[in-house]
Amino acid sequence: MPLTLQIDADRWRAHVRTYVAGATRIVPVTKGSGYGFGNSVLAAEASTLGIDTIAVGTYEEVAAATGPFPGDVLVLSPWRPTLDVDLVDEGRVVHTVSRLTDLRDLAESDRRPRVVVEVLTSMRRHGIATTEIGQAVSLLDRVRFEGWALHLPLTGDRLAQARDLARLFVATSGSEGHRLWLSHLDRSDATTLAAETSADIRLRVGTALWLGQRSAFRARASILDVHAVRRGQPYGYRQRRASRDGVLLVVAGGTAHGVALAAPSPAASLRQRAVSVGTGVLEGLGYALSPYHVAGKRRWFAEPPHMQCSLIWLPTGTDPPAVGDEIDIDVRFTTTTFDRIVWT
């Protein structure tokens, strides 16, 4: 009895088709856990959208995409000469190059690979410096150049940053109508940028595309076992003793699925920081609110999640679900792997 992703297929696909049908060329991103759906599932869905390119995160993800998707595959992780990758069909793979030394290595090879050149933005993750653009241009006639790439931050004036860099590309290379691959820019801003710079905009989109219609899907967890517990009785791996009478629910979903795994908090406001501090204090005392909902409320973990299941504490007075029932669970789809997907 599994952790399940239930999808309203018609509603979800209607959102995806509408998103892709805009004026800006969309490049769907399939990477990591496949946003909860799995990369092969998303690649197969992308093949029905009439698009020519999708993006994956790493070279290890290329195979899962090229099977169900017949078009080109852009690899977002930068190419490095030390990578040991077996590219089944290099004619379909577009490399991201973020260092002059790597671009030079590819230019001097006899492969003439397809490349996009990433330029460093205020994200400061990957990319050549703006002062190196001219040197990069001198090497482009020895590769199959597919355009410039920008990975923008999630905040700030991203349009202004993209506009400045796009104009710099034109000024340095002397070419109008160049192709520009972008992440984290709104579609309306992408349309504005295309009009202002004559660039062929390719907007790489993952979360807003695949997870933008949250009402179209829900995560459900099966009840695996139900145990009444009396005050003072031990339970769980650590044999913690119950502080009062209650019920232990054994539910599907654990660390192997990504349940309750958390990244550092991006808290910015005082309220967000206070919540983070309060949550940390409770966890230090052995209390953690679970993502599982029973009788309309989020319930507490009885102990940290196990690998494939979790123990949930239900207080006396709440009618417990039965073995085989399903309950709602809030998950972060980019870190969750489901046992099954049910299309309705």
Q: How many angstroms separate the CA atoms of 327 and 295, rounded?
A: 9
- Shared domain for 138 and 54, answered yes or no, is yes
170: tokens are: 């034109």
pLDDT of residue 88: 46
Q: How many angstroms separate the CA atoms of 321 and 227, rounded?
A: 11
- Shared domain for 185 and 238, answered yes or no, is no
pLDDT of residue 280: 40
Give the relative orientation of helices 187-197 and 158-173 as an angle to the nearest 10 degrees. 30
Q: pLDDT, tens digit, for every residue of 129-179?
A: 999 999 999 999 999 999 999 999 999 999 999 999 999 888 887 665 589
Q: Vertex 48, ends 43 and 54: CA angle to 5°?
A: 40
Give the largest CA-CA distance in the chain.
77
Q: What is the reported pTM?
A: 0.89
Q: Which residues contact 172 (CB under 8 A, 6 or more apart)?
A: 133, 134, 137
What CATH number is associated with residue 245?
A: 2.40.37.10
| Bridge partners, 53 (sequence order) | 72
Q: pLDDT, tens digit, for every residue of 180-197?
A: 999 999 999 999 999 998
Q: Which residues contact 220 (CB under 8 A, 6 or more apart)?
A: 3, 4, 5, 6, 326, 327, 328, 329
pLDDT above 70 (res 339): yes
Side chain identity at 100, as an amino acid letter?
Answer: L
What is the total residue count of the chain?
Answer: 344
Mean pLDDT of the chain: 89
pLDDT of residue 171: 84
Q: What percent of the chain has pLDDT over 90?
A: 78
* 104-107: long-range contacts, CB 8 A cutoff, minimum separation 24: 104/139, 105/81, 106/79, 106/143, 107/139, 107/142, 107/143
Identify the band that residue 17 occupies on the pLDDT scale cut at 50, 70 and 90.
Answer: very high
- Shared domain for 290 and 202, answered yes or no, is no
- Shared domain for 203 and 273, answered yes or no, is no
- Shared domain for 291 and 188, answered yes or no, is no
pLDDT above 80 (res 84): no
Domains contained in the chain, number: 2
Q: Which of 22, 62, 1, 53 is nearest to 225 (CA)?
A: 1
178: tokens are: 């160049």
- Shared domain for 203 and 233, answered yes or no, is no
- Shared domain for 183 and 60, answered yes or no, is yes
- Shared domain for 65 and 186, answered yes or no, is yes
- Shared domain for 131 and 180, answered yes or no, is yes
Q: pLDDT, tens digit, for every residue of 273-324?
A: 443 433 443 344 356 899 999 999 999 999 999 999 999 999 999 999 999 9
pLDDT of residue 83: 78
**b vs e for 156-188, b when ≥16 Cβ sit within 10 Å of the residue's Cβ?**
eebbebbbebbeebeeebeeeebbbbbbbbebe
Give the residue from 165, 186, 212 where a domain finishes: 212
Q: State the residue range of the domain holding 318.
A: 218-343
